[in-house]
Structure 1
Amino acid sequence: MAAQNSVLSHIARPYASALFDLAQSENQMASVETSLSDVSRLIGESADFARFLRSPVITADEKAQALDAVLVRSNTNPYVANFLRLVAKNGRLFALDAIIVGFRELAAKARGEVTADVTSAAPLTGEQVNSLTETLRAKIGKTVTLNQFVDPSLIGGLQVKVGSQMIDSSLKTKLAAMKIAMKEVG
């Protein structure tokens, strides 16, 4: 799985960088980010669309035609629409999700933001999100954008990942550590 992610990142990086440079030079950063978020949401919400993008059975030309039909009816930013057509023509739609992630990382870096992945046992309230964001901002010294995930198996607490740093205060991890410590004693 790690090797597959590495290959996807290797394919996605130049595409993300090219779109980022275009959006920045044309002063379209916000509009491009919004359109990419819409595409990302569609990929996440529609299993059929996600399968369509990754399918090796459907040719690049067929994918490009189908995508073009969708883009004609949508209000997607013209730069993003042309970009998606190019990615489809080049047969790289399977890496679209990774391209979007790469673009978001470049955009956040340009704004001086850091992204943190936060996993909690239950959805965080607005007050908890604000408190966590402020705490991370004070610790890191940069604006922090949170990607929130819910994993009920954590029981309680949080797992926060910023870059390569991981802070795990979940009850699941603490219980596992106690279990290991008890085995060593007994």
Structure 2
Amino acid sequence: MNGASREALATARESLDALTDNTSVDAAKLAGELAAVTALLDREVSLRRVLTDPAQNGDAKAELAGRLLGGQVGGETADLVSGAVRSRWSRSRDLVDALEELANIADLTAAQRAGALDDVEDELFRFGRIVDANPALRSALTEKAAAPSRRGELLDSLLGGRANPVTGRLVGRLVTVPRGRSLEQGIDSLSKLAAARRDRMVAVVTSAVPLSDGQKERLGAGLARLYGREMHLNLEVDPTVIGGISVRVGDEVINGTIADRLDEAKRRLAG
């Protein structure tokens, strides 16, 4: 998002945080209702354009949203959507993207309240790796010719009873309503949102053998000092690295594997 849309999203996120700071608000219910509004506006292009038309008065757009949603969603959801349509958006689609993000944050808030945010982060990471390693599964979960309900049923067969309900809802929306994104992009976005719930960064750590608890603790503390933020470690074991570890934080890679050193030595000899 750019310009006005970025500012509008920031305002909407502040409103959501203020609302969910009140533990009496059902964050999971809020997430479901926001997801339903997202799906509605994704389908109804003309309505979306009316609600983001910069030539229209913000209060008038909010009133229209309130009339449309009245009785369909709770008051908290209606207030969030009304507040969002009062803002100025650079593109009409940005409003839908923002509401989808609010739905995902609300679900992650529900997981955080239940003390399950770490589990959800780890499950998103593992699911992403499973999809990467299994092209046939990825194809089945993203097959456009298949009905969304069929894709959802396949996902349920994979995750049912094995993952946190929040993970199931988050990934379920990606699979049934992809909205033009790849599954990998969607999972990566969700992982970043999950990490941001505690102002943490995500480090993908690859090692030849599993790290001990002490090693994980020292590595996490060292990365936190280096980046100035708490770090969540997503751990992978890959025997091909031979020894040492590789750490990726965003686009930055810190590579200390023996395999990498051997490759570098070969390059120097070849040069």
Structure 1 position 167 matched with structure 2 position 249: no
SS at match of 2:151: helix
SS at match of 1:174: helix
Deviation at 1:103, TM superposition (A): 1.9
**2:195 counterpart residue number:** 108
CA–CA separation in structure 2 for the residues paired with 1:68 and 1:159 = 31
Partner residue of 2:110 out of 18, 28, 32: 28
CA–CA separation in structure 1 for the residues paired with 2:111 and 2:198 = 11
What is the identity percentage for the equivalent residue pairs of Structure 1 and Structure 2? 23
**1:19 counterpart residue number:** 103
Q: Deviations over 1:87-129 (max 9, x none)?
A: 52x4659844532331221131231101101111222121111
Tell me if the contact between 1:53 and 1:93 (Cα under 8 Å) persists in the aligned partners. Answer: no
What letter matches 2:248 in structure 1? Answer: K
Deviation at 1:144, TM superposition (A): 0.7
CA–CA separation in structure 1 for the residues paired with 2:258 and 2:143 = 40
SS at match of 1:28: helix
Higher strand share: 1
Deviation at 1:160, TM superposition (A): 0.9
Q: Deviations over 1:162-181 (max 9, x none)?
A: 12221111111211222222
Q: Against the structure 1 CA distance between its residues 76 and 150, is the aligned structure 2 distance closer, same or farther, given a 3 Å change threshold?
A: closer
Partner residue of 2:220 out of 105, 116, 133: 133
Tell me if the contact between 1:160 and 1:166 (Cα under 8 Å) persists in the aligned partners. Answer: yes
Structure 1 position 55 matched with structure 2 position 143: yes
Q: Deviations over 1:114-158 (max 9, x none)?
A: 110111122212111111111111211211111111221211111
Give the number of the structure with larger relative contact order, counting CA–CA contacts within 8 Å between residues 6 or more apart: 1
TM-score by length of 1: 0.65
Tell me if the contact between 2:241 and 2:259 (Cα under 8 Å) persists in the aligned partners. Answer: yes
Q: Deviations over 1:48-101 (max 9, x none)?
A: 75443123442335435x36986xx7696489649836852x465984453233
Higher CA-based Rg: 2
CA–CA separation in structure 1 for the residues paired with 2:168 and 2:206 = 30
Q: Please say which of residues 52-61 and 143-152 is displaced more in the overlay.
A: 52-61
What letter matches 2:104 in structure 1? Answer: F
CA–CA separation in structure 1 for the residues paired with 2:258 and 2:174 = 47
Q: Against the structure 1 CA distance between its residues 127 and 60, is the aligned structure 2 distance closer, same or farther, given a 3 Å change threshold?
A: same
What letter matches 2:187 in structure 1? Answer: I
What letter matches 1:119 in structure 2? Answer: T
Q: Against the structure 1 CA distance between its residues 16 and 125, is the aligned structure 2 distance closer, same or farther, given a 3 Å change threshold?
A: farther
Unaligned runs of 5+ in 1: 1-12
